[in-house]
Structure 1
Amino acid sequence: MASSLIQKTAWTAGSRALLTRQPVRSAPITLARAFHQSQIQRSQNRSTLLPEFSLKDRVIVVSGGARGVGLTQAEALLEAGAVVHALDRLPQPDANSDFSRVADRAASELGSRMNYHRVDVRDQKTLGEIVGGIAEKEGRIDGLIAAAGIQQETPALEYTAEDSDKMLGVNVTGVFMTAQAVAREMIKRKQKGSLVLIGSMSGTVANRGLICPVYNASKAAVLQLARNLAAEWGEHGIRVNTISPGYIVTAMTASLFDAVPERRTAWPDANMLTRLSYPEEYRGAAVFLLSDASSFMTGSDLRIDGGHCAW
């Protein structure tokens, strides 16, 4: 009883001291009240349900956006209302490819645009020129998905320095330079934004039966890079997060299954859902991280691995 009374007295005294501090007087309204009023205003302006997930009229850059996971996520951004600029090293996407289908759908069905720019993400100068040109043309850049990356399965004792440099150059330096180019345009325009770097569960664990030491190291580097960029650019209102997928069914994994058939069962058995994932299962995560729905989230990793790392 006495202890409770002492604690209550101490709490009351501390609360009184906080309430009498002078800095509060300098603000016309409290931060809490300002936030509450902004929420009321936002709700009054709502014309759709869950508007915080909308990307209407926002300009998003997607590296590695000509195919695979990058293209799948780009289509989701278009559906959410964004204008998308895809970067890739292909000279030009195949006229009969999924990219053309998505670009046509953006124009004819979604009332948006899907643009293509050829660039090697390791080419800092050209990358900066392209991103700067996008910002100049559109008048803004609101976000990035850095999905460009390569994979190589080679035993550590057989890895060459050249192969290692190439892997780290694309997967780490390329991601860094892309984020840097986009952030520069945001800061130049005093504009807030969201950057999403594609990591991997392989940045957290070593994959049993998959021999790719440099790839795994590169993805661990991406996770740490994002945390550091989030810390440095947060004062500018720029959020930086990562998505870490688990095993995905893609053209690349299909070739790995052909080379090592037992992976068709070993990989699904390694996670709690006992199956592989598909690129479409990461669409919502991309929209979430680039939209206002994740407005207080930065420096975080969104791992989507079917429970692989939770055993």
Structure 2
Amino acid sequence: MSIAAKVAPGHLYVVATPIGNLGDLSPRAQAVLESVDAICAEDTRTSGQLLTHFGIRKPLLAVHEHNETDICTRLVERLRSGETLALISDAGTPLISDPGFALVRAVRAAELPAVAVPGACAAIAALSIAGLPSDRFVFEGFLPAKSGARRERLGQLASETRTLILYESSHRITDCVADIVAVLGADRPLALARELTKLYEQSRSSTAGDIAAWLASDANHSRGEFVLVIGGAPAQADATLQEGQRVLGILLGGGLSASSAAKLAAEISGARKKDLYALAVQAGD
């Protein structure tokens, strides 16, 4: 589609919006938003401010996690009648840790067209500046809010060889990085991006231990919205942990306690006792 082209009847346009810098709304995105019949937004107040800035005046329909399942049928019918709709989130690319999945799924199930209008995405932006392998990566979104559950999930990801991308909030970032240090080790490569594209944007690429110390050094470092990019486990470590898991399973099956089984499995396989103990505890839940 050229910038000046009109939108097509019966199409849903999934439009990425800025994550901070308003200059990142593409000319194509503006043209689409100006041309559709209505815009589906996560928060109509937030999106209304964005649209007003660009002089876009279109009806706004609230589509968020609490109503998107119920409203999908009505929106699909509007598309069937020939209307054109756009879907946006508060910031960035819709569906990436944001609502919209139910609507896109319903549109696809109805065999109606869904068109991507790409743009800003905090996860990809952070990955591009992290200095960590980007050929294979896993997006985990937000980890569990409570430390115990968060550590359990990190334990499940400990042997993942692909680069990991996480989102985190200001009031949990310090505890989250502390849990990364505890479970994955202080030497695990870690990049932190804060307030991407905004006035106080910062990024740092080092180790988990260094990032934890950096956060502790200044309360201002914990403010804003965060993306964490974690280096994957070495392939050799993955194989070692798999052998450790195999031995651990045998020992646990023989009636050893989690602590004893993890210690012995670590001695036999060379895997880290900490990783094996986390797996043993998880297996016992």
TM over 0.5: same fold? no
Q: TM-score, normalised by structure 1?
A: 0.33
Structure with greater proportional strand content: 2
Structure with greater proportional helix content: 1
